[in-house]
Amino acid sequence: MAKVNTQTIPPSLIAGYTKVFIVGNPKIFGFKKVGVNSTARNSQPATISKPALALQLEAAKWLVEQWQPLNSSLFYAERLAEIKAFDFNQTYWHTVTPLRDTTEWGAPTISAYEGPINGVYDDPLRIKTKCVYGNWTKSYNTPVGVGTEENPRPGWKGTVIDQIWRDLWFAQRRLVYGLPVSINLANRRPILIDCQSEVSGTASFRVNSIWYARTVWPMLFYETGTPYVFDKYLITNWRATDIVPMELDSDSGQYFHCTDSKRILRTAYEKNWETITTAFNRLGLVIATPPSRGLYFARNDNVQVSHYETVNVLIGKTPNG
């Protein structure tokens, strides 16, 4: 063991050293004696990877296992770098286009709000309501642009009528993809969802960042010649996996109109895929931005939020396809 005498530590480093070392009482030893803090010897818990990074690592590992390269470390590093850069090499990834792209629209059931009210946010000119969404009532091809009043782009709209706020409608986007290979529990290939999302909100006063949450809800299923019939549910609540921007850049400088763009990486294996006992050949995605539900309208008289996505679905390849 090395022993160091009369070591001078720069003041800028002292704070960091005090977490690792302790200084003995000079009255006991006759001089200042430094030792290692016993708590610094304890092993620290491993850092939990971000969800997107975990998907990237798992996908690169799967490709190594399938392709069995001579230099597995180099192969792994190259594939991982490509995935992180969203540069999916066609040698190792199938790409698919959607079979169907529809918007599902529904109006809420509105009743009086009977919950607690924070006096700070109470506004007698804009009274809260309870807006509950059940099933969607119509479906149409997703508009390329803003759509029409009858068939709008996915999103939601709300307004104040007679000093009472209420949601008018909510619309979610549903995409269905055909998988190039049949997949089951025994041959789970990575299925990555690369979603480039743009959410735009316009309000009479100011926008609220919670309107910009993104829900990307995957569903794996099997489909033959007859189109699969989905439950007519509407996703209107926030989830732990939603992406909510912490800050918004205003298009106008006044924060009554903001557009937020995000690139999101998801896996298809999120919704109880382990319970699927048969092979599946379809991937369904529901993409939504949760509405105000009569509560989260930020003292506005009118709000409309819309969203559009460019979605790439990537399925891992083996040397045999």
pLDDT in tens, 216-248: 999 998 888 888 999 999 998 777 667 666 677
Residues 28 and 57 in one domain: no
* pLDDT for 89: 94
* pLDDT for 43: 41
Residues 63 and 117 in one domain: no
Summarised one tens digit per residue, pLDDT across range 62-93 is 999 999 999 999 999 999 999 999 999 999 99
> Please, are residues 74 and 293 in contact by the beta-carbon 8 Å criterion?
no
pTM over 0.75: yes
Residues 57 and 98 in one domain: no
Residues 162 and 202 in one domain: yes
Residues 203 and 59 in one domain: no
* pLDDT for 47: 42
- Residue-wise over 259-281: b if at least 16 C-beta within 10 A, else e? bbeeebbbbbbeeebeebeeebb
5 inside domain: no
Residues 166 and 272 in one domain: yes
* pLDDT for 38: 46
4 inside domain: no
C-alpha 120: how far from chain center: 31
Summarised one tens digit per residue, pLDDT across range 113-169 is 998 887 777 788 899 999 999 999 999 999 988 899 999 999 999 999 999 999 999
Residues 29 and 163 in one domain: no
Segments forming the whole domain that contains residue 197 = 94-316
Average pLDDT, the chain: 84
> Please, are residues 180 and 189 in contact by the beta-carbon 8 Å criterion?
no
Domains: count for the chain? 3
Residues 62 and 168 in one domain: no
46 inside domain: no
- Residue-wise over 71-89: b if at least 16 C-beta within 10 A, else e? eeeebbebbbebbeeeebe
Antiparallel, parallel or unpaired: β 191-203 and 302-316: antiparallel
> Please, are residues 131 and 294 in contact by the beta-carbon 8 Å criterion?
yes
Question: Of 251, 163, 165, which Cα lies nearest the Cα of 207?
Answer: 251
